Amino acid sequence: MTEPRIPIRFNGEAMEVPPGTTVAELLESAAIRTKLVAVEVNLEIVAHEEHVTHQVKTGDTIEVVTLVGGG
């Protein structure tokens, strides 16, 4: 018996995660330092304080951005 998975898009890549996965867990699984990023789910920012409680849902589009060099 396989665990149920839900499809999401994470930084442009299609992937599947267990239901109930939080933003914080998603970032951790991708080895992303949460303090250095901002997270958007379906074009809405998920504030840092909500990373541990916000669960991703089927079909969510998640964007994680950070700072890079720029002028």
Partner 1 sequence: MQDQLKIGDHTLPTRLIVGSGKYDTLEIMRDSLAASGAKVVTVAVRREKMYDRLGQNILDYIDPREYLLLPNTAGCYNAVDAVRVAKLGREILRALENPGANWVKLEVLGDSKTLLPDPIATIEACKTLVDAGFQVLCYTSDDPIVARRLKEAGATSVMPAGSPIGSGQGILNPNNLRIILEYLKEGDPDYPVIIDAGVGTASDVSVAFELGADGVLLNSAIAHARDPIRMSIAMKHAAIAGREAFLAGRIPRRLYATASSPEEGVITSRPYTSDRPSK
Q: Residues 63, 51, 21, 6: is their CA dihedral positive or negative?
A: negative
Whole-number minimum distance, CB 52 to partner 1, in Å? 14
Residue 16 identity = E
Q: How many CA atoms lie within 13 A of 20 on its CB side?
A: 2
Residue found under tokens 């074009």: 43
Candidate list 47, 52, 57, 59; residue touching partner 1; CB under 8 A: 47
Pick out residues in 4-43 that bind partner 1 (CB under 8 A).
10-13, 30-38, 40, 43
Q: If binding is defined by CB under 8 A, does position 52 make contact with partner 1? A: no
Q: Summarize as ranges the residues that interact with partner 1 (CB under 8 A).
A: 10-13, 30-38, 40, 43, 45, 47-48, 63-71
